[in-house]
Each structure stands twice: as C-alpha cells, then as structure tokens.
C-alpha cells in the first residue's frame, strides 16, 4: 500500500504462538503495516510482544470498550471479539490511518475464486498489496458503504449449484459482511452484542440503509470453528452455536431465525433478506 494510509489489524486473544493470519498475509504478498490487537485482560500479551515484536502489538482497554455497547445479555464475562473490533477504529485514527482491514487470527490463505466447467476454482493470491489498494479505491468515494469483506469458504459449498455464490454474492445482492472488515476511519460504526456481533451489526445498520457487502471472487480460508484453542473457541464451546445464532433472532425476529442447514453439521442463523434491508432504486431509473 504505497498510495493509501492503510493498515491491517489482526485481533487475537490467548494465541501468541498461533497468529496464523500473519503467515497467510505474507505468503499472499502483503507488505504494508500490520498490527496484532490484544486486550488488557489477556494474560499472554507479553508472549505476543516476545514472539512478534513490541512495536507490532497494540493493547486496548477491554472494560472501557465493553461499557460503550450493549452486549444483549446479562452474562458476566467479556469473551467476545466485539470490543477489539470497535477499538480498531480508534487505534487507526491515533496512528493516522484512513483505511484499515480487521482480520481474525486464524486465516490460512487468501484466494481468487471463479467458475470452471463443473465446479469452482481456487487460485491463491500472490499480490495482496494490489488487491487491498483496489478495494480501498472502491470504498473511498462512497460514503454510504460502511464495510466490505471477503467471501468465506462456507459461501462456496455446493460449487456451481450454490445459488448464494452465483446469484447473490457476485451481483452484490447479498449484503452481508462477516469475519473480515475493510473500514474507513472517518465512517465509524459500532459492533454490538457478545456473540454473532458481525451479523447483528450489518443487519442493524443494513435496516437503516447502510451498506455492507461481500466482495465477489475474493476468498479467505479459515481454520475450522472451535478447532484452535484460545480466541473465541471456549465461548462457542461453552454455549453452542444455537445460543450464538439466537442473538440475531432476539434482535431481529421479523427476518432472522435459527435453522440446521444441510451443508453444516450445526445450527446456524438464516436471514430473510427480502424483509431485512431496503432496496432503493437509483434516481436514473425513476419514471417521468
């Protein structure tokens, strides 16, 4: 990123030896500023500094950020990525970055995805600097766009017959943003709720006309949920994905429900997009 004040934040907790995303970024050709964001309740912060260098580790006040948003429950713990994501806006502003990307710590690769005759193709990215630059160029002039994200590997299950991939994500009809977030420091928004915070945030702002979108043809591969110790694994194992998904049902009962998709071996949220977000037609299409 030679032309834009841009950086990458990797949020992490309790996994100083397993910040897998760092290796994936370098392998994909990213050479720009990178920081690992930890909280002041993480007992392994010194190990992060020892492993990755003190200049790369940023520590935020977790109880302070927890006091600023609704957790949507009365649980007496702060096991959530919500506060780290919110802190990134201030960390970016303090360091003069106008744009930034928030990533989890367990990504294994960044890829292009496309169609072949009978299936999808997966081509590893080798110039991530250029990709990030182009994404910043895309979001820069549009004040209505709050955030865009990469596709997740689960989005591609089913290959060519996957309706969501070829008929929703690619024409930008699927207005979701999960897991990875390209953001503008000047266009602040707040994540909220303890679990499913990414879903609840893009829905809460989406119903108000704000834009969150999945970028077509750009894919992140990630370690299997709950497979790596630390991070959010303990929280998910303690409450299960039913509880995680039900946060969205509590907040948006008119268009969110919990289902058991055939492609997954667990319960998951399902959004009725026809009821969730406004569909505003551009002025150029107005009838005289």
* Cα separation, 210 vs 112, whole angstroms: 27
Q: What is the pTM of this model?
A: 0.86
What sections of the chain are H helices per DSSP?
Answer: 20-27, 45-52, 62-66, 82-94, 128-139, 163-164, 197-206, 233-251, 273-276
pLDDT tens digits, 18-48: 999 999 999 999 999 999 999 999 999 999 9
Note down pLDDT in tens along the chain; length 288 residues.
444 699 999 999 999 999 999 999 999 999 999 999 999 999 999 999 999 999 999 999 999 999 999 999 998 889 999 999 999 999 999 999 999 999 999 999 999 886 655 566 788 999 999 999 999 999 999 888 999 999 887 666 555 445 455 555 444 556 788 899 999 999 999 999 999 999 999 999 999 989 998 887 888 998 765 555 555 555 555 556 788 899 999 999 999 998 877 666 677 788 898 899 887 777 887 777
CB 210 within 8 A of CB 127: no
Q: DSSP strand E in the chain: where? A: 6-11, 34-39, 57-60, 99-103, 107-115, 120-124, 145-152, 181-184, 211-222, 256-259, 268-271
Task: For residue 104, report the phi and psi dihedrals to the nearest 5 degrees.
Answer: -75, 175
Of residues 248, 237, 162, 242, the one with CA closest to residue 201: 248
């Amino acid at each position: 990123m030679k032309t834009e004040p841009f950086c990458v934040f990797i949020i992490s907790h309790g996994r100083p030896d397993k910040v897998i995303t760092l290796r994936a970024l370098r392998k994909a050709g990213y050479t720009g500023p990178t920081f690992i964001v930890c909280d002041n309740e993480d007992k392994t912060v010194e190990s992060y500094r020892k492993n990755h260098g003190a200049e790369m580790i940023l520590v935020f006040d977790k109880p302070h950020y927890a006091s600023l948003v609704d957790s949507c429950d009365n649980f007496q713990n702060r096991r959530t990525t919500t506060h780290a994501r919110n802190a990134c806006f201030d960390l970016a502003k303090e360091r003069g970055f106008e744009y930034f990307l928030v990533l989890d710590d367990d990504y294994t690769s960044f890829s292009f995805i496309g169609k072949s005759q009978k299936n999808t193709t997966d081509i590893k990215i080798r110039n991530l600097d250029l990709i990030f630059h182009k994404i910043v160029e895309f979001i820069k002039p549009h004040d209505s766009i709050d955030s865009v994200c990469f596709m997740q590997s689960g989005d591609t299950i089913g290959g060519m017959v996957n309706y969501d991939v070829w008929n929703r994500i690619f024409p930008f009809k699927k207005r979701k943003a999960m897991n990875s977030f390209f953001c503008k420091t000047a266009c602040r928004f707040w994540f909220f709720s303890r679990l499913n915070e990414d879903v609840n945030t893009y829905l809460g702002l989406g119903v108000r006309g704000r834009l969150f979108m999945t970028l077509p043809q750009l894919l992140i591969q990630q370690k299997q949920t709950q497979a790596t110790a630390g991070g959010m694994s303990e929280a998910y194992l303690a409450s299960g994905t039913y509880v995680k998904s039900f946060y969205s049902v509590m907040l948006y009962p008119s268009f969110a429900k919990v289902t058991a998709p055939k492609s997954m071996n667990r319960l998951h949220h399902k959004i009725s997009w026809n009821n969730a977000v406004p569909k505003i037609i551009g002025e150029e299409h107005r009838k005289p």
